[in-house]
Every structure is written in C-alpha cells, then in structure tokens.
Amino acid sequence: MTTVAVIFGASGGIGSAVKARLESDGGYDRVIALHRKSSPPLDLLDKCKIQACAEEVRQAEGEVRLLFDATGALTLGTARPEKSLRELDPEVLARSFAINAIGPALLMKHFLPLLPREGRSVFATLSARVGSIGDNSLGGWYGYRASKAALNQLVRTASIELARKNPEAICVALHPGTVRTSLTENFAKTGLDVQEPAIAAERLVDFVVSLTPAQSGGFFDQLGRPIPW
C-alpha cells in the first residue's frame, strides 16, 4: 500500500524544510504539502478550507501514515510578544489562540480520522518550549506562551482518544528549537543554538521516525528529550 505524509504549513521555513527532507529520505511514497497557496488552500482561520483539504487527502491514493503540522505564529501583524500585563490586548490574544491552538485542533478534528485504524501512524505538531508551564522562569510573551500551552493540552487529550481507535497511533507536540526563520527573526538571543531549517527538519524527522506508541501524548524537543508540561 502506498504510504502518504501530509505537511501543514509546508510553505514556511520549517515546513518547507520538512517537506524536502521527507521527499528525499522520509520513507513515504507520497508527500502532500498544504499551505495558503496550495490546491486546495489551507487556512487555519477558515474551517471550511480545512475541511476541503481533509476531503482532498481522504480521496488521495494510499494510506496516510504521517500528519506533520508546521503552522504557528509568534508575531501577529504589528503586535509583538507582550513583555508585561499592561500590553495585553484581547484581540491579539484571541488571534494567537486561533492560529496556535484552535487551528491545530481543527486539523486534528478533520485529519486524525484519516489515519488507518491499524498499524503505526503519527500526528506531530510544532509547539514551543515557552509553552511549558513548568519551564517558565522568565515570564512575558503571554499570548504565545498560553496558546502553545493550550495546544499541548489539546494534543495530550487527542492522543487519549486516538489510542482508543488505534493503540499504535502516535500524537505528539514537538519543540523544534530556535530555527532561522521569519518567525524567530529579531528574537534569537545571542548565545542560542540557532539552527538552519534543514538541520531542524533532519532532527525533527529523525525523531518522528523513532517515536513509539508509548511516547504518544508527550511533549519533546527536537532531539527527543521530554519537556515538562
């Protein structure tokens, strides 16, 4: 049976690098790339477009064995990550949750049912270490932190439901590390290990390939190390 990998946000820095990695050495017969300009287009803020993409994948030949979500946003228009409570804006918070938590939740709603009921399959979404509540010692970045923490909870909860349908299926949240992309531009501090997208993609894909069902519902960095919730 033909095996299929689907990448969400495949036009972004990490998404495009993951796509290239999977196409060159990912072990899948076909890679479907979904993004704002794909056909059909993917828009996390439009549930009808998400449904249309899911229907397109459902009709594709082969078994979907990997769903890789590389979507997300740190800055929203002119709004930058908040440094203090006085900078909180309800509209910006709502948009951050819409893109970083609700959008991926809708991806899980419409695409997890496409995974086979038998055999190993993986849904992996890019979270962020700053979404860890236990690892938060600096504060700030309220909207981004909170929306990624919400995403982590959604992944954990979905993993439990997914296991009831297929004990071999895996659902995880991944921190890609600091990657040189438009998302991290102007936010990469001196001394950080800033990776090129190709390196980050190699690490992420290698870890995804090694995942076992026992790790489903977990939150890991790009090298496979668990991150506290």
Query: Stretch 145-162: mean pLDDT, rounded?
Result: 98
Which fold does the domain 3-221 belong to in CATH? Rossmann fold (3.40.50)
On whether the CB atoms of residues 124 and 172 are closer than 8 A, the answer is yes
Query: Stretch 148-158: mean pLDDT, rounded?
Result: 98
Query: Stretch 106-129: mean pLDDT, rounded?
Result: 97
pLDDT in tens, 32-62: 999 999 999 999 999 999 999 999 999 999 9
pTM of this structure: 0.94
How far is C-alpha 112 from the chain's CA centre? 13
Q: What is the pLDDT of residue 186?
A: 58
On whether the CB atoms of residues 166 and 117 are closer than 8 A, the answer is yes
Q: What is the pLDDT of residue 214?
A: 98
pLDDT in tens, 179-206: 987 665 555 554 567 899 999 999 999 9
Q: What is the pLDDT of residue 188?
A: 53
Query: Stretch 93-99: mean pLDDT, rounded?
Result: 97
pLDDT in tens, 2-35: 999 999 999 999 999 999 999 998 789 999 999 9
Which residues, at least 6 apart from 49, have a Cβ–Cβ distance to it below 8 Å?
Answer: 40, 41, 42, 43
